[in-house]
Amino acid sequence: MPEPSKPPMPVFDVQLTEAVSNILAATDRPGLTKGELISALRPARLEWEDGENKRAALLRLLHNAQVRRGRGDTLVVFVNAALNPSRYVNDHARFDRLRGQLNELLSLYGFKITEQGKFARGQQAATLSEAARLSGELVSELRRRGCHQLLLTYCGEELVRKSLFHAISEASKSIPDRIRRHTGLGEDGEDLYGRVFGTKTVAPLITVTAMSNDSETSEHRGFKNLLTGIHGHYRNPRAHATRLGSSEEHNDFFDAFALFSYVHRRLDQAGVRP
């Protein structure tokens, strides 16, 4: 016997449809362009109608079609088309950001977007904080990029809140904190790194190379200078500033975490306890 067809999805409330429209038709990236929206609407058998802006036009189109057809499948088909991974072959980060933003919203209703870009049932969040945790946008992208696990431990709460400013601050602190715990020293910044990695008159407690020739010695000293630079560029400014009036670009955020991850991997190789 043929399998019974699934019942149609009920019409989604206008608040959900509006929020989906605001994400997918956002003016700035990762929002879709008008041309991309028109393409994603075709599988749902909808034609674009201009409005005062993209978000309002998309909301009116999707909500009216659901009400007219008496089913919410129209929204599902559109979202599946908009999140089709083939659209993002050359921009994985854009797909992850859209999926993360949608999942933070949809988790409040018991739905999610899968890794395959499909609208599906999911765990329902009871609070906004839980919704942010379930979406896991930043954490997922950091893991995909090979972020060192210790960084996720140090700034997990900041990543859930999507506070890039505070996440970078906490991540940068993880480096001197790890070294202090390993050595038992109490200094910070250049004073700490001078005692740990040595100076012209002080022998190093930790080495990242064998220091058996000039090249290896230069690499070791360069690593120490790198840590001093991270302290001055990332750690100190955020220790004496507030988030207000500050902004962090996503690309700069991911680049900073890649740099911190490199440092922790070199400390791993040097035998420094995590």
pLDDT at 86 over 80: yes
What does the pLDDT read at residue 197? 97
**How many CB atoms sit inside 10 A of residue 219's CB?**
15
- Are 63 and 17 within 8 A, CB to CB? yes
- Mean pLDDT over each residue of the chain, to the nearest integer: 90
Confidence (pTM): 0.63
Domain boundaries defined on the chain = 14-135, 149-269
What does the pLDDT read at residue 1? 47
In tens, the pLDDT along 212-238 reads 999 999 999 999 999 999 999 997 665
Tokens of 155: 């700034």
